[in-house]
Structure 1
Amino acid sequence: MGSEFDNLDYSTFAFDHRITRSIFLSGLVILIYDHLLTLNAEIKYIWSSKLRPSTYWFCAVRYLGLAAMLAILPYYFGVSDHELQSTVLSEH
């Protein structure tokens, strides 16, 4: 019984990887754009007021998501095409 990856060639793998990176990058750009759009309101209402537990929760939710996306960024863009090609070709 064959694996579902038996018919996976390098061009299909590279195309799928490019689509995945494009979707990830578009999500990251939208997230950064949202952060920049609301930065003035955040400074006015969050950072210039008294720090409460809700302020900490807001910051945790807001900045942990951004930090996670930035931490994952090298995973999507750090692998060179040569490494991908050698990985795919070594499996067949």
Structure 2
Amino acid sequence: MNLLLLIAALVFTCLAYDAWKLSVPADKVPYSVTADDLGQPLDGIPLMEQSKRKDWNSRYGLGDLSQTFWLWTILALACAIGAVAGLVG
């Protein structure tokens, strides 16, 4: 079981590193990319309206996707702590 937790910690650490290297602040991502992922057409929508949608999405929708770094980091730490606790106890 400890070996499995150590392997999981290693995998999660690699994923955290990858997410950290690929992260881009949410304000740097054009709304067209987010809208495309959500299936929202942008034909004929003024830039001011796109800006409002981007702000709303940052607060209530997708938010800052670069925060996945913290998810992988927390999972890696939990697995590492579990493996160490299993070795000690």
TM bucket normalised to smaller: 0.3 to 0.5
Q: TM-score, normalization: structure 1?
A: 0.43
For the pair shown, the structure with the greater C-alpha radius of gyration is 1
TM-score by length of 2: 0.44
